[in-house]
Amino acid sequence: MSEGGLKRTFLDLRPALTRYLLMRGLSQEDADDLIQDMYLKLESYQGGPVGEPSAYLYRMAHNLLLDRRRSAARRIRREEEWSAGGTGVVSHIDLRPSAEEGLIARERLKVITNALRVLPERTRDIFWRFRIGGQTQKVIAGELGVSKSAVEKHLYRAYHIVAAAKASLDDEPGDATIGE
C-alpha cells in the first residue's frame, strides 16, 4: 500500500486505534496525544509500501505506547535516585555533555528556535504549551477557545517547521550526528 494509502488507513482506523490505547490503560488525553504522534510519524514516513497497513498501524501504536511506558519508568527511577540522595551507582556517572556536545546542542537549538520564529504567534504559543509546558491538546483548546482539531493543525505546522529545520541540520556536511 502506498504512503497515501497508509495515511488514509490511519484516518479510517483512528477511532479504533484510540480505543486500543484506552484499553491498555491510557487516559483519553494521553491516547489522543499518542495518536497525534503517530500521525506526525506517518507524515515523515520514508519507507516503501506496506502490505498490511492495519497491522502496521496497530504495531506502531503498540511500540509508541511501550516507548512512553519505558520513558516514564526511567523518569521515575531517576527521580527516586535523586530523592534518595544519589547514593546508587547512577549518581557516580557524569551525565553532563562534553563541551563539544554542548556547543552542537546550542547551535541546533538556535537553528530550530529561528525556524519557529517564522510561525504565527498563536502557533508558537500552542507548540510551546504542548511541548514545553506539557499541557494536553484538550486543555490548550479549552484555554484558547478553539477546537482540538485546530490545536492539532497548529501543532502540525510547528512540527513541519521543526522537521524541516532538523533535516537541514542533518544534511550539513561534517555534522557529528549523521549516522547515529
Which pLDDT belongs to residue 28? 92
Other Cβ atoms less than 10 A from the Cβ of 63: the count is 11
Is 133 inside a domain boundary? yes
Q: Which domain holds residue 141?
A: 97-170
* CA 22/CA 32 separation, integer angstroms: 10
Which pLDDT belongs to residue 164? 86
Which pLDDT belongs to residue 6? 85
Residues 70 and 121 in one domain: no
- DSSP letters for 78-128: HHHHHHTTS-SGGGGS--PPPHHHHHHHHHHHHHHHHHHTTS-HHHHHHHI
Residues 54 and 19 in one domain: yes
Q: Where residue 85 sits, what CATH number does that domain have?
A: 1.10.1740
Q: Are 26 and 34 in contact (CB under 8 A)?
A: yes
Residues 106 and 166 in one domain: yes
Which pTM does this prediction carry? 0.45
Number of structural domains the chain divides into: 2
* CA 148/CA 142 separation, integer angstroms: 8
pLDDT tens for the chain, 180 residues: list them.
555 678 889 999 999 999 999 998 889 999 999 999 999 888 887 777 888 999 999 999 999 999 888 988 888 888 888 877 655 455 556 677 788 888 888 888 888 888 889 999 999 999 999 988 889 999 999 999 999 999 999 999 998 988 888 888 776 554 444 333
Residues 85 and 104 in one domain: no
Residues 83 and 149 in one domain: no
